[in-house]
Chain A
Amino acid sequence: MSWSLFIKKRIDSKEWSARLALLRQLFAKHALRSRPASEAKTCACHSESADSTQDKLREQSQLVQVKKPETLLCAQNDHSCSPQPSKKYLSLLATTILLLFIVGSHYAQDRFPRPEFESQYQRPLTTTPSPQAHFFEIFDIFVLAGALGLASYFALKKRSRRGIFWLTVFSAAYFGFYRNGCVCAVGSLQNVSAALFYPGFLLPIGVIMFFVLPLIFALFFGRTFCAGVCPLGSMQDLVMLKTVKIPRWLSEVLSLTPYLYLGFAVLFAATGSAFIICRYDPFISIYRMTGDFSTMIYSLGFVGLSVFIGRPYCRFLCPYGVLLGWMSSLSKKHVTITPDTCVQCRLCEDACPFDYIDKPASGKIPEPRAQNRKRLAMYVFMLPLMILVGGYALSRLDFVFARLHPKVSLAEQIRQEERGAVPRTSLETQTFRTMGVPIETLLEQATEIEKRFHTGAWILGAFFGLVFGLRLIRLSLPQFRIDYEIDRTGCYSCARCFESCPNEQVRLQNVKNARFERSGKEYLLHVAESAN
């Protein structure tokens, strides 16, 4: 669509002609009014205060012909050169105004001179209420560090579920409801990826601290961030009532989705397309206490789910949990179920509502060693293949992912319109056409972005292949576990399972005169006398 077409369409509309008639009338009145000579110093239309950006815009615009009549209007309005406009001028002016309308909201401003008032009227200023952000940004870093320290202290040193619980309440109240759950550590991973890969994306200090601090703590103490600091985890933890057990195979499969989510979140953030974690955050609208109907249903659905399934978002979606899991699996310290030694009493077996307690391997029927080795060797051999296949497969789908980038989807729409494949224009394409950027520029930019997506999709696919292959290898590794142990990758250090351990009861001195006995290969616990 060229400019002339655009103009035609605008003048045709009813609104415009009605408006035009009115303005003609009014302008006739305005222009005939005589003005005091003292006013005639400068014409407001040409004064310095004219918006410089607008001027620049006008210069850049290719509408030189349309621009001229505008200057004419100013000359006409300038009392020093034409104090008594005649009828001929008036019709000329009306035509000028018509032409001015055509230029549209983008380029036409300063149509009417700004009056100088005889009365004492003072023009009010535009108020600029400041964002509260900066103070809170620094403050929040300290609160976060403090909460992380407390969580680690409660979980590892005090082994206190009560402490963790109150910390959870605090986090939901402060990070959640008071600070509106934004920026959270989970979302900050997108800002960091964008800062790493996307030119011109800046990273405020608060955001990077929210990303790094929980990971550092996880490297030393396990996922104490999840225990009672993360606003998303807190919400799910607090509504959890009675959990149903999910079959191991199902949770094993579902626990792969966080890797997918993480991969896509990084891809879309790094290409500057979207922050999908923020967009599909199920709890934020509850913390903000706003949102339209569908988001509310989505959020309440998730909360409802969390009542019966322990932390569904954490276990089966959270992309940040993947990073925390890596750190935690190799952490320096980590919570243990028992404060002492495992007596294999099996009391803790079902104590974890999230199913992160691993049973001793002795319970399984051992596979013939040779067979196991063979399979393991095959998986290891297949790993590079999986990486390649994954990368190739996703790179073929790059155009699908690229659509999420606003520029790419705009270019696609424009292309279709040019081909005449779609009957109507959309708001986006209309806007684009009024901005006067050549279509070729847009298409070039879109191609550039698509190229980045191609590379990104290769890396992403390779990552998925790696994750999948490693999971297969891990599942077929021989198990040497002899005690009931916590799965360090998944465990949120919530301290729930502790109390089920008899040794913990001894530590708490709830059980006195406890004695352990061993019969054959098993430990037996004899409790002579209970405290109450």
Chain B
Amino acid sequence: MNDKQNKVKRRDFFRDSLRTLLALALGGSAGIATRKLIAKDLVWQLDPHKCVQCDLCATECVLDLSAVKCVHAHDMCGHCTLCGGFHRPDAVTFDTAAENQLCPTGAIKRNFIENPYYSYTIVEEKCIGCAKCVKGCSSFGNGSLYMQVRHDRCLNCNECAIAIACPAEAFQRVPSSQPYILKGKQAQA
């Protein structure tokens, strides 16, 4: 009986020490990892200066309708009559006729301001994030249209599906307190 008790005791001791070892290993790795700890949360954002306007943002997002959409830095816009982001390259007239529009969903609203200036506004509900307009604006205009992850839609996946696919490696994790990488005057603010 005594022998048996001793055996049990020995086993318990063995288990106890192993458990302490495990706890130490866990604490140790967690401790080392805390050197990289930040109090803020991280969210995904794309750097519009790196983006090359492929259409992967529209198709790769895990959401059916991408969380990435086009936004407009109005203070950079030339308000041109012929907009590289609005009109198709083969447009016949520079008006709002559907066949002249570059955007496949007609998500850009064109309003007359004063001669010869127009404003171009993105209707976000319609935008699918295909970056066609951004490509047009960057190639022919001021580059005031650009892509951004919209955080009212983004699920903040642990591994953003677009970040893997993006050929320009434009996606990065940014602190949730500064979740946008803006262009124009708002970039400095």
Whether the pair A51, B152 counts as a contact (CB closer than 8 A) is no
| Contacting residue for B72 out of A110, A126, A215, CB 8 A | A126
Whether the pair B121, A124 counts as a contact (CB closer than 8 A) is yes
Docked complex: A302-335 residues within 8 A CB-CB of B? 326-327, 330-332
User: With A110-B142, A126-B73 in contact, is A133–B30 under 8 Å at CB?
Assistant: no
A246 at the interface (CB under 8 A from B): no
User: With A290-B63, A327-B22 in contact, is A19–B41 under 8 Å at CB?
Assistant: no
Whole-angstrom distance from the CB of A169 to the nearest CB of chain B? 22
Chain A: CB-nearest residue to B50: A435
A204 at the interface (CB under 8 A from B): yes
B125 at the interface (CB under 8 A from A): no
User: With A23-B82, A129-B152, A202-B38 in contact, is A274–B159 under 8 Å at CB?
Assistant: yes
Docked complex: A1-56 residues within 8 A CB-CB of B? 15-16, 18-19, 22-23, 26, 30, 33, 49, 51-54
B114 contacts across to A, CB distance below 8 A = 117-119, 121
Whether the pair A332, B143 counts as a contact (CB closer than 8 A) is no
A216 contacts across to B, CB distance below 8 A = 26
Interface size class of B (residues with CB under 8 A): 35 or more
User: With A109-B142, A187-B158, A196-B33 in contact, is A115–B117 under 8 Å at CB?
Assistant: yes
Whether the pair A288, B38 counts as a contact (CB closer than 8 A) is no
B52 contacts across to A, CB distance below 8 A = 105-106, 431, 434
B80 contacts across to A, CB distance below 8 A = 26, 112
Contact with A along B24-68 (1 / 0, CB 8 A): 001001101110111111110000010011101000001110000
B157 at the interface (CB under 8 A from A): yes
| Contacting residue for B82 out of A22, A125, A278, CB 8 A | A22
The docked-state distance in angstroms from the alpha carbon of A37 to that of B102 is: 36
| Contacting residue for A431 out of B22, B42, B79, B168, CB 8 A | B168
Whether the pair A23, B54 counts as a contact (CB closer than 8 A) is no
Whether the pair B158, A275 counts as a contact (CB closer than 8 A) is yes
| Contacting residue for A112 out of B22, B30, B78, B184, CB 8 A | B78
Whole-angstrom distance from the CB of A302 to the nearest CB of chain B? 17
| Contacting residue for A131 out of B26, B30, B151, CB 8 A | B151
Whether the pair A219, B62 counts as a contact (CB closer than 8 A) is no
Whether the pair B43, A203 counts as a contact (CB closer than 8 A) is no
User: With A131-B176, A131-B179, A330-B18 in contact, is A19–B36 under 8 Å at CB?
Assistant: no
Name the segment of A145-153, A205-213, A455-463, A523-531 touching the other chain.
Answer: A205-213
A183 contacts across to B, CB distance below 8 A = 158
A137 at the interface (CB under 8 A from B): yes
Using a CB–CB cutoff of 8 Å, the interface residues on chain A facing chain B are 15-16, 18-19, 22-23, 26, 30, 33, 49, 51-54, 57, 101, 104-106, 108-115, 117-119, 121, 123-134, 137, 180, 182-183, 187-188, 190-192, 195-196, 201-206, 208, 211-212, 215-216, 219, 274-275, 278-279, 285, 288, 290-291, 326-327, 330-332, 406, 427-428, 430-432, 434-435
Using a CB–CB cutoff of 8 Å, the interface residues on chain B facing chain A are 15, 18-19, 22-23, 26, 29-30, 32-34, 36-43, 49, 52-54, 56, 62-64, 71-82, 84, 89-91, 94, 113-114, 116-117, 119, 121, 135, 138-143, 148, 150-152, 154-159, 164, 167-169, 173, 176-177, 179-180, 182-187
